[in-house]
Amino acid sequence: MTLPLSKPHALARPAGSPRLASLVAALLLAPGAWAQGATALSFDAARASLLAHSEQLAASRSAQQASQLQADALKRLGGPSVALTGMAYAYNANLDLDLDPLNQSLGQINAALPNWAQNLVGRVPIPQLPGSYTLNRHASGTHAAIAAVWPIYTGGAPEAARGLMAAREREAEADSQLTGQQLDTLLVQRYFGAQLTRRAAELRAQAERTIAEHDQAAAKMLAGGVIARVERLQASAALDEARRNANKAESDAELAATALARTVGIPGPVAPQTPLFVNSQPIEPLSYFIDAALTHHPGISKVAAKKAQAERLHEGEQALRRPQVIAFGSRQLKTGNADWAAGLGVRWTLYDSLDRDALEAASLKQIEQAEHADAQLRSDLALLVERHWRAVDTARRQYLDMAGAVALAAEVLRLRTAGLREGTSTTLELIDAQTNQAKVLTERAQAANDYVQALAQLLESAGLSDQFSAYIARADIRVPAAATTPTEK
């Protein structure tokens, strides 16, 4: 984020004005006056609020918890299963019987008898059966049984499935850690970005007040015939430009504060209390951060989890080619002579429409892919860590090297102020000196922000984002948000 200050070409009123001195003194004594009514928030408090209110982090944690529950659900996979079955039933059955053929048969039997038998039968007539008859059966009852199945040998399939879910759980955990570290870096960017924009807004506002007094002085000098009209117009143009710059800087500061408030989940404006900082001494050596990255970075854990998943899938493919042995049993739940069954079952797939060799080869390629991804990630992480480490050291050196420019700008301003009193300097030279000092202070604050942002990115790439507060605590240079000079321990 670069916030250069352009040089307004205008006439400056003589320095040492009581009004100007009072304005600057008020600014220096009350650097947090701009934040009245805002929620004061240290960096640690902002991080705690972010962790409590971030929807993105909550989503990643929910995904991690879901993977953990799925892994827990498979812990007893491959063990026995017992099922209880029961039923209550009732039935009604009807069967219609046609008796006409039977009646006809009885008549034919009577005609076939001898005469003496027919005379005997004729004295006792055979009764006629009805034309049809309906049989009805109905009953009700209950049935209950218990059955158990226990896989004795499954070729390692349950173990592969449990290992697969455990690896997915580790991947979800790594994703959650990655999300947390990315949010830490985002918080640093917005928290200290708000500090930088507020400092720039203070410098712009201070420049506008100073140029406004120069404009008033130029108007009086024109009325007294001391300066030409063109010099008066230069002062007015400089004031207009200063107002535009101040308004834009204030708008940028308000937007940065709003972004910070929404990031940490706090309604209303937020006033960061932890200032920009720089450690004048170099941080740990490059090897320290590279070793930390290769050990702690969540990306390494995620790739390892991917490889473990591929290995478990390969084991599962091999398990499906082995025989499976199960024990089973079932018994009817009733007293007395109950039905039961028990035995062993063996299943071995001799031929399958799937090409198992190709599936195993594919799973081996996935393992190989994970190994190549791990090697590439380690190389990329080492390069990324080195780039951020060098950026941290470059920003530190840049900030320290600008001490001479800050001192020079202050001395030039002092000389121009004294020269204006003695008549050896012009008001234009004075305002240029004042503008240059504000520009140098803003650039140095930018260097401090570059240091902070590079440090946050370095810690993220090394998997050490949670240690950012420790670097704040040991910093020996503080750059407050208000337009004051930095403090050193």
Q: What is the pLDDT along the chain (489 residues), one digit of tens a residue?
A: 434 333 333 333 333 333 333 333 333 333 344 445 678 889 999 899 888 888 888 888 888 888 888 888 888 888 888 888 888 878 787 777 776 776 666 666 666 656 655 555 555 566 666 767 677 788 887 878 888 888 888 888 888 888 888 888 888 889 888 989 999 999 999 999 998 988 888 888 888 887 787 778 778 877 877 767 887 787 788 788 888 888 998 899 889 988 999 888 888 788 888 999 999 999 999 999 999 999 999 999 999 999 999 998 888 888 888 898 889 888 888 877 888 888 888 888 888 777 888 888 888 998 999 999 999 999 999 999 999 999 999 999 999 999 999 999 989 988 887 876 676 766 667 777 877 888 888 899 999 999 999 999 999 999 999 999 999 999 999 987 654 444 444
CB neighbour class for 105 (10 Å; exposed up to 12, middle 13-18, buried from 19) = exposed
In degrees and rounded to multiples of 5, residue 240 shows phi and psi of: -60, -45
Angle at 110 between CA 106 and CA 112, to 5 degrees: 115
Q: Classify 373 as helix, strand or coil.
A: helix
Pick the CATH number of 18-77+155-322+356-488 from 1.10.287.610, 1.20.1250.20, 2.40.50.180, 1.20.1600.10: 1.20.1600.10
Q: 349: which residues sit within 8 A by CB, 6+ positions away?
A: 320, 321
For residue 464, the tally of other CB atoms under 10 A from its CB is: 21
Distance CA 427, CA 419 (A): 10
Residue 132 · residue 99 · CB < 8 Å:
yes
Alpha-carbon distance of 150 to 159, in angstroms, equals 15
Question: What stretches of 350-441 adopt beta strand conformation (E)?
Answer: none
